[in-house]
Amino acid sequence: MRTALQRSACLALGIALGLVARPARAGEPHAICYVRMIQASHEGSGIDPKITRLRPYLEKAPFTAWKKFTLLDEKDMTVAPSTTDRFTLPNGKQASLTYVDHVFTPEGKHRLRLRLEISDGEKKILNTTFVLDEGGVVLQAGQKHGNGTLILGFSCDIPND
């Protein structure tokens, strides 16, 4: 049996968790997600003028280790909760983005949990889950591409239906 102090602590924890993020209700919104595929290189200089939303991030460490950024491809996708969209990366590997779930921040903004998987044939190279706030950006780098490194930039918006 729980003591009054334990019940109070559990109640306080539940209230605190409710303030941090509350689960979305039935009918979670779909998201429009944008994937920008960029080659970062130590040779050359400059940021491709077509890279707009990601430019401020590429101009800061640790990305300042590279000198040139070229937009190779972009994919815009509409994903619904618990669904997956697949796409091919410029290096030939297969990627998928899964909309895991959605919550609201205390400020009432949308926060998505997404899973990125990258595979090379049957071999899984990456399987990571990340949180993306509405209007935010997540960058994933590390795969080789040509004479540089592939950087994937993710951002999502929730349309006002």
Query: What pLDDT score does 153 carry?
Result: 97
Say if residue 62 is preceded by a cis peptide, omega within 30 of 0. Answer: yes
The model carries a pTM of: 0.81
| Residues 99-157: tens digit of each pLDDT | 999 988 888 889 999 999 999 999 999 999 999 998 899 999 999 998 999 999 999 99
Q: Residue 9: in which H helix or E strand, if any?
A: helix 4-20
Give the number of other CB atoms < 10 A from CB of residue 97: 22
Is the distance from CB of 34 to CB of 78 less than 8 angstroms? Answer: no
